[in-house]
Structure 1
Amino acid sequence: MRKICFALLTISMLLSNTAVSMAHPGRTDANGGHTCRTNCAKWGLADGEYHYHNAAGTIKPAESTAETPDPAKETDDDSSDATLVADKIKVASKGKLSVYFLNIGQGDATYIRTAAGDDILIDAGKNEAGDVVVDYLKQLRVDDIEIMISTHPDADHVGGLDTVLRNFKVENVYAPKVSHTTDTFKDFLLAVKQEGLKIKEAKAGVLLPLKGVTARFVGPVAAYGDDLNDWSAVLHLTYGINKFLFTGDAEKRSETDMLAGKLALKADVLKAGHHGSVSSTSPAFLKAVAPKYAVISVGKNSYGHPAATILNRLKAAKASVYRTDLNGTVTAVSDGKKISFLKVK
């Protein structure tokens, strides 16, 4: 009788475990979480939502586990594509502004989702980063892009935008009034034309048509000839009392013009110019911005980015520094009053 009871108990446990596995499969990652794959609604989750289980098996959505990571702690993965998978993304809850500084190697790519649900993409890295950016946007369930910004024609910024244009409906494209002769830049222009779009000029004073946020270009202020970096479109975005400044590769000459124009530069979060190069983030500019956080979009490179001088300058300014080469994709979430950085890895 004992053997029968024990056998029944064992079978019951196996069936229970099998049912849970079948209803909610998926190996956990290093953070103890994973993505929902089947019967997501049954668990109170959206399809593909990243979440955790506690010891009792109760679901804990990713939002409840958000925390501010140590920006100085290096990750064990410097790749720019394999890390962009669903089980390593914590999608911010609705009603908040989310900013994703994407880990795409040496280059820039920033995706912004406003609280109202509008999508903004600033640059998309090199040509090979285009597919990575597209995959990331699809994981975040982006259906269309209200605003696409090409900060300037450099290949590590504009390269992947043609791929994005071919994969998503884009409503508006902004870029500074400067051209380049490279095939990479020509591919971008051709993709814009093929989508039936016209490029709108990005320059100081232009306000983006977005609800719930104030997004205005503060650069370029002037014409900069062949200096493509200083032509960079610089965007200042305000949500509630929180402010962000996205600088492209703008260097000291552009920074000086923005300061002279007494434009709104102060920001809680600064996307440091030119991947942390000594040519950008001048002392006067940094003082005007006075950021609490600085994000450096950078990968393996031979340019010395980010420069020790800039890292020390940011440290002296008491700005917490996040780097995509060390921290992976950096995700900032604002409720209009407070900014939190989510741990993606």
Structure 2
Amino acid sequence: MRMARLACIIPVVLLFVPARLIAQVGALLSVHFLNVGQGDATLIQLGHKAVLIDAGRGDDIVLLLQDLGVDTLVAAIASHNHDDHIGGMDAVLADWPVGRYLYNGLDAPNRNAEAVLEWLDERGIDAPDPPWEPIVLGDAVIRVLPSPLAAQGDENNASLVVLVERGRFRALLTGDSEVEELTALLAARLVGDVDVLKAAHHGARNGVTPGWLQRTRPEVVVVSVGPNNYGHPDPWAMRYYQAGGRRVLRTDREGTVTVTVEAGGRYEVSTEVVGGGEGR
């Protein structure tokens, strides 16, 4: 009799689990490293809800988000305030509902950063100070950490740290962090093993160290880059990323790079230009 009563209770309990949550748990999480030329923009998407990290240099981000079917941005995150990371952010804030906006809190260094702050005020978008609560998309968790060096006021080394987790999958993004911030992150033991790493500072030589790759141990490295006069990505850095059989993908060659992640953490990588991918 007890088992019979239990069998009756369980279906009733399941009725109270939101159908949208059940659907999200079974859906694929997509991490799109968007091809925005010389700049950065990454969209983390589960269903029609998403989180945007950086927005490239211009309004191209609008069409990219429309093509991906984004309805709502749970959060928009600026790794830091340089034009090639937030140049399109004001257009995003104008066109999409945004739950909250996270940035490094430094004084606006350019007109694009000023425009973003104006939109936050006009739209009444929350821009809380750290520490920040984890952002939840279904069963995926996005953790955003301020730089240990934010108080020094250097934009690159004040880049926010973003860790994406689903099941056993981990992806790490650190904006334009340079050696000083990477070293501070290691010293504070804020990072560990990841599956996918976005190369810091567009693959610049000052965006990687031996200790950084030894600690993070990525299988896949994505370099967000386009035509530029800065020498990005640096040939030495690229050889270093490729050492040990890591798969290195560049948005200027492969186009948008998409990582799709199942609920347990198994992932596949596909590219806009080359096509195909690999799983784990």
- 2:31 pairs with 1:99: yes
How far, CA to CA, are the matches of 1:256 and 1:219 in structure 2? Answer: 14
Separation in 2 of the partners of 1:309 and 1:206?
Answer: 37
Distance 1:210 1:240 in 2: 13
**Distance between the aligned counterparts of 2:145 and 2:221, measured in 1?**
18
Is contact 1:123–1:150 with CA below 8 Å preserved after alignment? yes
* CA RMSD of superposed structures (Å): 1.9
The answer to whether the aligner puts 1:179 opposite 2:107 as a matched pair is: yes
CA distance in 1, matches of 2:134, 2:119: 24
The one-character-per-residue Cα deviations of 1:98-121 (angstroms, maximum 9, x if unpaired) are 01111111000011113x653010
Relative to structure 2, which stretch is displaced further, 333-342 or 243-252?
333-342
In structure 2, give the amino acid aligned to 1:100. H
| TM-score normalised by length of structure 2 | 0.83
Aligned to 1:153: 81
**C-alpha distance in 2 between matches for 1:318 and 1:117:** 35
Residue in 1 aligned with 2:98? 170
Query: What runs of 5+ residues in structure 1 fail to find an aligned partner?
Result: 1-93
Identity, in percent, stands at: 33
The corresponding residue for 2:56 is: 125
Letter in 1 for 2:110: T
Q: 1:107 to 1:343 in 2, by over 3 A?
A: closer
C-alpha spacing 1:247/1:181, structure 2 compared with 1 (3 Å): closer
- The question of whether the paired residues in 1 share the 8 Å contact of 2:149 and 2:157 is answered with no
2:239 partner SS: helix
Change (3 A) 1:96 1:271: same
Q: Aligned residues, how many?
A: 248
Q: Whole-Å Cα distance in 1 between the matches of residues 152 and 129 of structure 2? A: 16
Q: How far did residue 195 of structure 1 move?
A: 1.0
TM normalised by structure 1 equals: 0.68
**Equivalent in the alignment of 1:217:** 144
What is the CA deviation profile of residues 121-178 of structure 1, one whole-angstrom value per residue up to 9, with x for unaligned ones?
Answer: 000011x2x2x21111111211110011011111100110000011111111111121
1:236–1:243 contact (8 Å) kept in structure 2? yes
Say whether the 8 Å CA contact 2:147–2:161 is kept in structure 1: yes
Cα separation, 1, equivalents of 2:152 and 2:133: 21
Q: CA deviation at 1:218?
A: 3.9
- Alpha-carbon distance in 1 for matches of 2:151, 2:238: 27
Alpha carbons of structure 1 residues 201 and 153: separation in structure 2 relative to 1, 3 Å: same
Contact 2:144 2:160 in 1 (8 A): yes
CA–CA distance in 1 between the matches of 2:195 and 2:107? 32
Distance 2:126 2:96 in 1: 16
More displaced stretch, 282-291 vs 215-224: 215-224
2:173 paired with 1:246: yes
Q: Secondary structure at the match of 2:51?
A: strand
Contact preservation (8 Å) 1:123, 1:157: yes
| CA offset digits 1:26-68 (Å, max 9, x no partner) | xxxxxxxxxxxxxxxxxxxxxxxxxxxxxxxxxxxxxxxxxxx
> Would you say the 8 A contact 1:153–1:185 is kept in 2?
yes
Partner of 1:228: 155
Q: Measured at CA, do residues 218 and 289 of structure 1 come closer, stay the same or move farther in structure 2, by a change above 3 Å?
A: farther
Displaced runs of 4+ in structure 1, greater than 6 A? none
User: Aligned match of 2:233 in 288, 306, 323?
Assistant: 306
TM-aligned CA distance change 1:234 to 1:308, over 3 Å:
same
Of the three residues 280, 284, 307, the one matched with 2:207 is: 280
- Partners of 2:105 and 2:267 lie apart in 1 by 33
Gaps of 5+ in 2: 1-25, 274-280
SS at match of 1:237: strand
Indicate if the aligned counterparts of 2:31 and 2:259 stay in contact, CA closer than 8 A: yes
Partner residue of 1:138? 66
SS state of the match for residue 144, structure 2?
strand
The question of whether the paired residues in 2 share the 8 Å contact of 1:274 and 1:280 is answered with: yes
Distance, in Å, in 1 between the alignment partners of 2:130 and 2:104 is 5
Q: SS of the residue aligned with 1:169?
A: coil
Cα distance in 2, alignment partners of residues 337 and 264 from structure 1: 18
Q: Does 1:200 align with 2:128?
A: yes
Confirm or deny: 8 A CA contact 1:290 1:317 kept in the other structure: no
Alignment partner, residue 113 of structure 1: 45
Map of 1:295 onto structure 2? 222
